Amino acid sequence: MSAARTVRRRNVIPGFGISLGFTIAYLSLIILIPLGGLLVTSAGLGWSELYRIATDLRTVNAIWLSVWTALIAAVINVPFGVLIAWVMVRYRFPGRRFLDAAVDLPFALPTAVAGIALTALYAPNGWVGAWLDKVGIKAAYTPLGIVIALTFIGLPFVVRTVQPLLEDVDKEVEEAAATLGASRFHTVRRVILPAILPAVITGFALAFARAIGEYGSVVFIAGNIPYVSEIAPLLIIIRLEEYNYAGATTVAALMLMISFALLIFINSVQAWTRRRYGNG
């Protein structure tokens, strides 16, 4: 025993084989095999069938709707997310901690609950919807409602990605800029914004990626009219209910391709940030 201890100099910690083995087995069973099954199923349809379903007008409309509403929601979340992160990091005011914790509400609140709450709120007889109705804006049961739900879902991604970087911005650099005669506006634009830009891009991409696949919070408020307000995840469910597995699988495969492209984009932004800013 003591002899073994002195020999174990370089690799003293036990359990590598069993922990890595279990990790890979579990990962394969829960994630890789099921996802691989989806890709195999879609590949098994053949190119012409895949192409036919992927270019079907209802498929195209659903995916395009999911993409553009997610994009607008993410764009809205950038200024408001940065503003909220800024206010939380830089200012002290009563209720700050409460609001800071509340930012994570969309993470914690089940999407179906968010969905029915937002629908009731923005319906023509709802608290906000009634006001919008007076000025002739229809929110619930239109693509605008989808954008509202996706904005709700995406907000914490931007705030929580920007916040730590904003905390790390060196006050001395700001002071140096001010000493050198830069106005506050200039300092914010030339010193602070470039420092948090990678986090803003990452937060935007995370919010966008989450919103494309979002289902629960959207499906109640969307209206779900084919070609108009039917999102891609809903189309998958409709195809499944029709026992149209080829249709469901193709839409899913297209969405997965978009998600993976975004994932690669997010990883490259983060790798670029690390190279440029050290351990940012």
Please state the closest distance from residue 138 (CB atom) to other proteins, in A. 18
The greatest distance separating any two alpha carbons of the chain, rounded to the nearest whole angstrom, comes to: 84
Closest CB to other proteins among residues 48, 125: 125
In angstroms, what is the minimal distance from the CB of 143 to other proteins? 18
Please state the closest distance from residue 113 (CB atom) to other proteins, in A. Answer: 4
Task: Single out the residue of 43, 60, 99, 228 in contact with other proteins (rule: CB under 8 A).
Answer: 99
Q: By C-beta, is 195 or 259 nearer to other proteins?
A: 259
Kindly state whether residue 168 participates in binding other proteins, applying the rule CB under 8 A: no
Q: How far is the CB of 4 from other proteins (least distance, A)?
A: 11
Exactly one of 63, 73, 152, 201 binds other proteins (CB under 8 A); that residue is: 152
The reply on whether position 16 binds other proteins by CB under 8 A is yes
Is residue 208 part of the contact set for other proteins (CB under 8 A)? Answer: no
Which of 183, 190, 194, 227 touches other proteins (CB under 8 A)? 183
| 197 touches other proteins (CB under 8 A) | no
280 lies in the site for other proteins, by CB under 8 A? no
214 binds other proteins (CB under 8 A): yes
Q: Which of 43, 101, 137, 257 binds other proteins (CB under 8 A)?
A: 101
HEC per residue, the chain: CHHHHHHCCCCCCCCHHHHHHHHHHHHHHHHHHHHHHHHHHHHHCCHHHHHHHHCCHHHHHHHHHHHHHHHHHHHHHHHHHHHHHHHHHHCCCCCHHHHHHHCCHHHHCCHHHHHHHHHHHHCCCCCCHHHHHHCCCCCCCCHHHHHHHHHHHHHHHHHHHHHHHHHHCCHHHHHHHHHCCCCHHHHHHHHHHHHHHHHHHHHHHHHHHHHHHCCHHHHCCCCCCCCCCCCHHHHHHHHHHCCCHHHHHHHHHHHHHHHHHHHHHHHHHHHHHHHHHCCC
Tell which one of 43, 46, 51, 113 touches other proteins (CB under 8 A): 113
Q: Which of residues 224-253 bind other proteins (CB under 8 A)?
A: 232-234, 236-237, 240, 243, 245, 248-249, 252
Determine phi and psi for 224, rounding to 5 degrees: 55, 40
- Is 47 among the residues that bind other proteins (CB under 8 A)? no
Should residue 68 be labelled a site residue for other proteins when binding is judged by CB under 8 A?
no
Task: Note whether 187 binds other proteins by CB under 8 A.
Answer: yes
Q: Would you count residue 171 as binding other proteins (CB under 8 A)?
A: yes
Residue 78: both structure tokens together: 């950038």
Does position 104 interact with other proteins (CB under 8 A)? The reply is: yes
The residues near 153 (Cβ < 8 Å, ≥ 6 apart) are 73, 106, 111, 114, 207, 210, 211, 214, 217
**Among 51, 127, 131, 272, which residue sits at the site for other proteins (rule: CB under 8 A)?**
127
CA angle (190 as vertex; 99, 187 as ends), nearest 5: 65
Residue 195 sits in the site that holds other proteins (CB under 8 A): no
